[in-house]
Structure 1
Amino acid sequence: MITKNQRSTILFSVPVLLLSIPFIAMQFSKEVNWSLFDFTIAGFILFGAAFTINLILKKFTTTKSRLILIGKTLVILLLVWVELAVGIFGSPFAGR
């Protein structure tokens, strides 16, 4: 059984691992070119989602409500990430 402290450690290590992927890729390829601003925004989005998921896990006890809220959080994360990456909605925040 995973304790609450271990769960938080795992949950907040996921953004670090995800951010390390482009950082490592930048060392081997010129095609991956992230600036400090890119890492800052990505970190803000990923850690914000991790914080929200952690809060959901602490405040809600039923599995159904947890799954629904975490699913909504991940969908919002994905939509924001895709909009910033390629601008599928054409908002002023798109990377164009």
Structure 2
Amino acid sequence: MAGILEQDQLRRNGVRAVVWGGAAVLLLLPLLAMQFTDEVDWNAGDFIVMGVMLLVACTAYEVAARIARTNAYMVAAGVAVAAGFLTTWANLAVGIIGNENNPANDLFFYVVAFALVGSLLVLLRPRPMAWVMVATAAAQLGVFAYAWLAGLGFVPVFTVVMCGLWLASANLFRRAAGQASS
């Protein structure tokens, strides 16, 4: 039994190294690209914002790793964090609707905030987390519908991808709840 626990700890430490190392690589990629092209032009503020975003994502991984009782929970949390990260990154970088100055883009930050607040309200428990992720997908659809009907923009591909991620996370949280109860 001790050997299995040691192997599990080694695996988790290996994943931790990949998560934090991957974050460092992502942060350094623009710096490397700036050496070879003028197309990438980051300033100190850009690096700070990306560093904070990566720190939040990696910290969320650490919290999930401590809470998780199943691999399904870990993957569910990873998918949810990735969805929030990608939404925030795309919105800050170029904007989801039009450019980053379009005020309609603020609505997408509310979707991420909804997922975060909902997750905290249910104390990150797997069964209610599944419902939070379903509700987040519904919020994503609501933002799409509002933006489209108000004439602010039309982003069906982004909406389908993000709803798919939120719903995949919901399904994995539901699976994790079933595994934890059996």
TM-score, reference length from structure 1: 0.83
How far off its partner does 1:90 sit?
2.2
Q: Residues 41-90 of structure 1: CA distance to partner in whole angstroms, max 9, x if unpaired?
A: 00110121011112201211112222212111110000000110111152
Extract unaligned runs of 5+ from structure 2.
Answer: 1-6, 97-103, 108-182
Considering fraction of residues, name the structure with more helix: 2
Structure number with the bigger relative contact order (C-alpha 8 A, sep ≥ 6) is: 2
After superposition, give the CA deviation of every residue in 1:19-45 in whole Å (9 maximum; x if it has no partner): 111101111111110000000000110
Aligned to 1:91: 106
Name the structure 1 match of 2:86.
78
Corresponding letter in the other structure for 2:64: I
DSSP 3-state at the match of 1:91:
helix
The percentage of aligned residue pairs carrying the same residue is: 26
| Structure 1 range deviating more: 35-44 or 48-57 | 48-57
User: Counterpart of 2:36 in structure 1: which amino acid?
Assistant: F
How big is the shift at 1:7? Answer: 3.0
Structure 1 residues 63 and 5, CA gap change in structure 2 (3 angstroms): closer
Distance 1:65 1:10 in 2: 18
After the TM superposition, which residues 14-93 of structure 1 pair with which residues of structure 2 at under 5 Å, given as runs? 14-88=22-96, 89-91=104-106
Question: Which residue identity lines up with residue 41 of structure 2 in the other structure?
Answer: N
Q: Which residue among 8, 14, 17 is the counterpart of 1:9?
A: 17
TM-score (norm 2): 0.46
